[in-house]
Chains A and B, each alone.
Chain A
Amino acid sequence: MGRVVQRVMGTVVSIDVVGLDSGDEAVAAGSVMSWLHHVDAVFSVHRADSVVSRAGRSGVMLTDLLPGSDRDDLCEVIERCESLRVLSDGVFDAWAVPGPDGVRFDPSGYVKGWAVTRAADILRAAGATGWCINAGGDISVGGLDATGCRWRIGLQHPDHRDGIVLVAELPTDVNGDGPTAAAIATSGSYERGAHVVDARFGTYCTELGSATVAGPSLAEADAFATVVYAMGAEGLAWLAGRAGEAGYEGCIVTRDGRLLTTPGFDLLVPAWRHPVGASPLP
């Protein structure tokens, strides 16, 4: 089966599935896309009819609007957003996102990564031995690709859409328990303009070219990338000191053309995968 590409969640999602026969691969990829469309219908603040949008206007308690599994999902997202607010010392605050009518609850910074992590669970449950889900630049990979190799993820150059600054080989595998998963996410302003907000000040952040975080789960990696981008230069120290404990590593691309990494990030990026011209600074 080829790669499945669809427009969903305000961006483009590309899915590769490995290890199923082609009919089952298509069904599994279809299930993933259906799930992502469903998440959009519940959580998107860009859709006036979403549950989160309706609750934001009416003031009705969010969780009262939903039955069953959607309510559990929303409770989980709210809980995780609160944990991230504490972990980031208020930089990431889903309750303080500027909207058209002032500050509102907007969990978008967490929901996409969380939804794609769930999507990976769908593929694993379907028996896939490998997958690569790219949701608009934030990626969940599992197992191995169709040639038995680890997935190789290029990091886009913030100043040049046709360039990459390195290639990360995320440490996934297939073992007795099945495929293991990993994730990598990037935050930046070069596609959509200034949109990342430091909730402590209510200001838009553009200090860095981009911030990238890799680790076990895209739910966290995506949110951490946003936090690092919002924090600017000190975000990397925050990541290395605080979030690194949980197995997350990252790098930032500065606006003056430097690539800074946490020490562990280099393990994801073999030396020969640093493109020509990128040598360690003294």
Chain B
Amino acid sequence: MDDRVPSSEQRTRRGPATASKAASLVLSVAATFGLAALFARADRQQSVAEGIDEGIDDADGAGSAGTTALTPSPAGTSTVPVGELPIADGTYDGDAFTNRWGIVQLAVTYQGGQIVDVAVLQYPDSDRRSVSINQRALPSLEAAVLAAQSADISSVTGATITWRSYRESLQSALDAAAAASAGVQG
């Protein structure tokens, strides 16, 4: 695990006209294993640490197929550690690569060092369909809570809840209200 975490924290800076050999190497690796290497995985190390904190066994070799995908890039390439060099604003086209279904090409737009848009330039069988991504700012916490209180909703979708946390959840409040209203009708 240790030998792949640092490399997974590296980001390949993809300038519109800087298709270096190293970048091609990274993307050819991505072509083999899907879209993984195109984006930063800055929180991988944190994720793994979190898993250990949770007492979950971090099974080394769980993705044995993937271990070769993120071997460190050769020295002197254009990969840089995340956080040291912010990505300049702009839209970056990834190289087109071939996965088992056909040719895939993505474009990523950065603003202020963050991804603000991902567009699919080419994807197998997707030419009949727009695949650009829409986005909004999330409501503030206050607005979100207000929305939950005032919205007439049937149910709540969210990360899988535990029995313990259910008792304090929005869903349990909805369930209790539904049971109460049924009691009034009955």
Q: List 16 A-B contacts (CB under 8 A).
A: A12-B161, A154-B147, A154-B153, A161-B169, A164-B147, A184-B157, A201-B8, A202-B61, A202-B64, A204-B48, A236-B118, A263-B130, A266-B134, A276-B143, A277-B137, A280-B134
Q: Determine whether the beta carbon of B66 is less than 8 Å from that of A202.
A: yes
B178's nearest neighbour on chain A, judged by CB, is A3
Contacts of B20 in A (CB 8 A): none
Grouping DSSP codes into helix (H, G, I), strand (E, B) and loop, the A interface class, with mixed when no group exceeds half, is mixed
Contacts of A141 in B (CB 8 A): 154-155
Q: Determine whether the beta carbon of B106 is less than 8 Å from that of A194.
A: no
A278 → chain B closest CB, angstroms:
5
Q: Which of A54-62, A72-80, A88-96, A121-129 contacts B (4 or more CB under 8 A)?
A: A88-96
**B129 close to A (CB within 8 Å):** yes
**B18 close to A (CB within 8 Å):** no
Chain A 135-175 near chain B by CB (<8 Å), digits 1 or 0: 01111010001000001111111111111110110000000
Q: Determine whether the beta carbon of B47 is less than 8 Å from that of A138.
A: no
Q: Determine whether the beta carbon of A134 is less than 8 Å from that of B138.
A: no
B158 → chain A closest CB, angstroms:
3
B173's nearest neighbour on chain A, judged by CB, is A162
**B92 close to A (CB within 8 Å):** no
- In Å, the complex CA distance between A5 and B178 comes to 11
CB contact list, B39-80 vs A, under 8 A: 39, 41, 43-44, 46-48, 50-51, 53-54, 56-67, 69-70
Number of B positions contacting A (CB below 8 A): 94
**A259 close to B (CB within 8 Å):** yes
- In Å, the complex CA distance between A12 and B156 comes to 12
CB contact list, B129-186 vs A, under 8 A: 129-141, 143-148, 151-163, 165-166, 168-172, 175, 178-179, 181-183, 186
With A161-B168, A204-B56 as known contacts, state yes or no: A89 contacts B34, CB within 8 Å: yes
The answer, among A93, A200, A237, for a CB contact under 8 Å with B131, is A237
The answer, among B118, B138, B155, for a CB contact under 8 Å with A233, is B118
- In Å, the complex CA distance between A14 and B156 comes to 11
Q: Determine whether the beta carbon of B157 is less than 8 Å from that of A137.
A: yes
CB contact list, A25-47 vs B, under 8 A: none
Contacts of B35 in A (CB 8 A): 89, 231, 234, 237-238
The answer, among A86, A159, A194, A210, for a CB contact under 8 Å with B50, is A194
Q: Determine whether the beta carbon of B58 is less than 8 Å from that of A155.
A: no
A225's nearest neighbour on chain B, judged by CB, is B157
Q: Determine whether the beta carbon of A197 is less than 8 Å from that of B62.
A: yes
Contacts of A258 in B (CB 8 A): 116, 135-138
A35 → chain B closest CB, angstroms:
19
Q: How many pairs of residues, A versus B, come closer than 8 Å at their CB atoms?
A: 354
**A203 close to B (CB within 8 Å):** yes
- In Å, the complex CA distance between A206 and B44 comes to 8
- In Å, the complex CA distance between A90 and B43 comes to 20
- In Å, the complex CA distance between A257 and B147 comes to 16
**A64 close to B (CB within 8 Å):** no
Q: Determine whether the beta carbon of B66 is less than 8 Å from that of A90.
A: yes
**A199 close to B (CB within 8 Å):** yes
A235's nearest neighbour on chain B, judged by CB, is B35
**A256 close to B (CB within 8 Å):** yes
Q: Determine whether the beta carbon of A167 is less than 8 Å from that of B157.
A: no
Q: Determine whether the beta carbon of A156 is less than 8 Å from that of B170.
A: yes
With A233-B118, A263-B132 as known contacts, state yes or no: A275 contacts B66, CB within 8 Å: no
**A11 close to B (CB within 8 Å):** yes
Q: Determine whether the beta carbon of A234 is less than 8 Å from that of B39.
A: yes
**A19 close to B (CB within 8 Å):** no
Contacts of A168 in B (CB 8 A): 157
Contacts of A52 in B (CB 8 A): none
- In Å, the complex CA distance between A155 and B154 comes to 11
